[in-house]
Amino acid sequence: MVFDSAQALAAGGHRVILFTGFGPTAPELQSNPAVTVISVGTGWIREQSTSPQTVTSGIWNLMAAKRLRLLLADLDSRETIVHVHLYSGGLSASVMHAALKAGFATILSLHDYFITCPNGAYFVFPKAVICERRALSFSCLACHCDSRRRVHKVWRVARTWIQSKLARIPNRLTAYIAVSETCAKLARRELPSGSRIEVIPNPVGIERLPPVNAAARRTYLFTGRLEGYKGPQLLAHAAASLRLPVVFCGEGPLEPEIRRIYPEATLTGWLQPEQIVEQLGRARAFVFPSVYRETFGLSAVEALARGLPVVASRGTAAEEFVRHGENGLLFDHNSVDDLTAQLAKLADDAVVARLGAEAYRSYWSNPLTLEIHTSRLVAFYRSLIGAGRQGGGPVAPVHIPGVPA
């Protein structure tokens, strides 16, 4: 998503710089003369050794901050905005501190909640339950919520405390972009009061194809990581009780459990995006059983765009797009019984046809295209740095993605 936006911004006449901890550069970026890619080579912190240097740079990456300061020294803060994405994977909050200290308008896209929550999800992973604790409170510190070991939670707490309490990054950031209203609502409970949060949904890069004839299909589809927090085990139990043909597209540690629950289920392994589109074309309905809230729910929106009814968990960001009884069905959070009851309703071909037709119509009446996303980004950039600028000319966004370029 970051790289598609970068190329769209460049195509619109904006000078774009991608400052990333990863390499090598993707061919489509490398061949675009309007996009400059600077990789500082930090890589994923989680894939590196546990040496003291790695541990400390994951908390506060001095090298990345220094490289960014050198880059910004040659740019005009009146014409440039720094847009940060997924910084916690390698660059750390040090890059935001460097940009703010240099006087640049700096915004953060909330693809996760690491700016306030130590594990980035407001979720207790070992128990697979939503967390309602205040970040960095005593109950937060005492809770073993990390998806890995307790010592990793200690490290994450230290990182969050330094960025939030010592560097005060949440108080200093110019603004935030939330990718859904659900994301914005959850972020507001921990961010400083008065924080500017703009809701700009992610672009959905799916081609407009004829709607799927969902009522003529029989397969129920899940895509994503086979992890407890994504909820594939809920679908496996529900499908097994109804003897539904179900396809799980993805990989993860829950694969043996899914095979045990429902041996007749089809597990495809990880698929390329074009293969996912093919699977959507063969499905009767798409199931989004996530146990944690998610920030957007891209896979559910893609299914709606193909004309599939979506069965989604209440309380997730997908609920913003799925209207119960109109273009899909909603089931009670983490409830196998209610998921089973909702799936049973889709045995009726007329119901499936009606929901699918509305899914397709409603999505394409207001599609989340890259063009719309980019225009909203540019408008927001200009609102932040436009005061005093003449003529509304191009801005120079410096995108800092914590994902491979």
| 116-169 confidence digits (pLDDT tens) | 999 999 999 998 899 999 999 999 999 999 988 888 899 999 999 999 999 999
Structure token digits, residue 186: 């959850």
Is the pLDDT at 327 greater than 80, yes or no? yes
Given a contact cutoff of 8 angstroms between Cβ atoms, the answer to whether 119 and 145 are in contact is yes
pLDDT of residue 390: 47
Q: Where are the domains of the chain?
A: 2-203+369-401, 214-365
| 189-229 confidence digits (pLDDT tens) | 999 999 999 999 999 999 999 999 999 999 999 999 999 99
Q: Is 388 left (phi over 0), alpha (psi -120 to 50) or beta?
A: left
CB atoms within 10 A of CB 210: 9
Rounded to whole angstroms, the Cα distance separating 13 from 9 reads 7
The residue behind tokens 């969902």 is 214
| Residue 205 Cα to chain centre, angstroms | 14
Of residues 385 and 286, more confidence is placed in 286
Burial pattern 157-194, b for ≥16 Cβ within 10 A else e, equals bbbbbbbbeebebbeebbbbbbbbebbbebbeebbeee
pLDDT of residue 392: 54
Cα-based distances in Å from 356 to 306, 307, 362 = 8, 5, 10
Mean pLDDT of 96-122: 95
Q: Report domain 2-203+369-401's class.
A: alpha beta
Is the pLDDT at 47 greater than 60, yes or no? no
pLDDT of residue 22: 74
pLDDT of residue 388: 41
Given a contact cutoff of 8 angstroms between Cβ atoms, the answer to whether 29 and 37 are in contact is yes
Contacts of 22 (CB under 8 A, 6+ apart): 39, 41, 42, 43, 44, 90, 403, 404, 405
DSSP3 helix / strand / coil % (the chain, rounded to 5): 40, 15, 40
pLDDT of residue 2: 80
Is the pLDDT at 237 greater than 90, yes or no? yes
Beta bridge partner(s), residue 221: 247, 286
Rounded to whole angstroms, the Cα distance separating 181 from 320 reads 8
214-365: in CATH 3.40.50.2000 = yes
Is pTM, for the whole model, over 0.85?
yes
Of residues 352 and 387, more confidence is placed in 352
pLDDT of residue 405: 39
Q: Which helix (H) or strand (E) holds 398?
A: strand 396-401
Rounded to whole angstroms, the Cα distance separating 371 from 203 reads 8
Mean pLDDT of 281-296: 96
Is the pLDDT at 398 greater than 90, yes or no? no
Is the pLDDT at 25 greater than 70, yes or no? no
Is the pLDDT at 48 greater than 60, yes or no? no
- Percent of the chain at pLDDT above 90? 78
Q: Which helix (H) or strand (E) holds 390?
A: none
pLDDT of residue 402: 57
- Average of per-residue pLDDT values in the chain: 91
Q: Coil, helix or strand for 87?
A: helix
Confidence of residue 404 (pLDDT cuts 50, 70, 90): very low
Structure token digits, residue 8: 């769209």
